Amino acid sequence: MMNTAAQQQNSDLVWNLEKIHQHQRAMNFVKQFENRFCVFSSSVRQLYTNYSIFFPEEADRQMVILPDPYAFHDTFSHLNENAVQSTGLHVIPGNLIGKSGLYLIIARKDKNVRSVPIPFQEGIRQILRRSNSDDPFLPVLMKGDLREFNDQLPCLHLHRLRLKELSGLSGLEREGIRTIVTDKLMSLYQESGALNLKA
Torsion of CA 145, 165, 50, 56, to 10 degrees: -30
Alpha-carbon span 134 to 162, nearest angstrom? 10
Alpha-carbon span 143 to 171, nearest angstrom? 27
Alpha-carbon span 45 to 33, nearest angstrom? 22
**Domain range annotation of the chain:** 4-194
Q: What is the pTM of this model?
A: 0.89
Least confident residue range of 42-51, 95-104, 137-146: 95-104
Residue 110 is predicted with a pLDDT of: 55
Q: How far is CA 146 from the centre of its chain?
A: 9
Inform me whether the pLDDT recorded for 119 exceeds 50: yes
Higher pLDDT, residue 174 or 107: 174
Alpha-carbon span 175 to 170, nearest angstrom? 9
Q: 16 exposed, middle or buried (CB, 10 Å; 0-12, 13-18, 19+)? A: middle
Residue 114 is predicted with a pLDDT of: 62
Average of pLDDT values for 57-73?
A: 86
Of the chain, the percentage scoring pLDDT greater than 90 comes to: 65
* Signed CA dihedral, 16, 137, 107, 90: sign only: negative
Residue 109 is predicted with a pLDDT of: 64
DSSP string, 57-69: TTSTTEEEEEE-T
Average of pLDDT values for 9-33?
A: 90
Inform me whether the pLDDT recorded for 78 exceeds 70: yes
Q: 167 exposed, middle or buried (CB, 10 Å; 0-12, 13-18, 19+)? A: exposed
Residue 54 is predicted with a pLDDT of: 94
Average of pLDDT values for 80-95?
A: 92
Inform me whether the pLDDT recorded for 180 exceeds 50: yes
- The set of residues, in sequence order, having a beta carbon less than 8 Å from that of 88 and lying 6+ positions away, is 106, 107, 108, 157
Residue 3 is predicted with a pLDDT of: 42
Residue 58 is predicted with a pLDDT of: 78
Main-chain phi, psi angles of 167, to 5 degrees: -70, -25
Q: How far is CA 105 from the centre of its chain?
A: 15
Residue 5 is predicted with a pLDDT of: 42
